[in-house]
Amino acid sequence: MSLQNRRPQRRVAPVSDLGRYLIALGRALRERREQLSLTQEAVSLLTGVPQRRIWEIEAGVGNPTARTLLRLVAGLGVPCSEIFARAEALVEAVTPVADEE
């Protein structure tokens, strides 16, 4: 195989800085929901955001649009700035997953 046909291999960390922030954002939203003693289903009914989508966001596997995030914070009665501030505080607690080879 010639060198021209070889693709360079990139190593991508399983949890990027963005991934860590999304996990922290989900945790901040879940904390607020739990403070209000609401289920994901109740938040879904309040906001119109599907329960499955709320689960994905809270688990850190979903990347919410601005519209979805605004609907959630409105339903949870909290300003976006407060959720983002809490996520900033939590992001350092999110441990990156070790590279798997």
Write down the domain spans for the chain.
17-91
Q: Name residue 71's amino acid.
A: R
pLDDT attached to residue 1? 47
Per cent of the chain over pLDDT 90 is: 68
pLDDT tens column, 41-76: 999 999 999 999 999 999 999 899 999 999 999 999
pLDDT attached to residue 97? 52
Asked if the model's pLDDT at residue 2 lies above 70, the reply is: no
pTM of the model: 0.77
Q: Could you tell me the fold of the domain covering 17-91?
A: 434 Repressor (Amino-terminal Domain) (1.10.260)
Per cent of the chain over pLDDT 70 is: 78
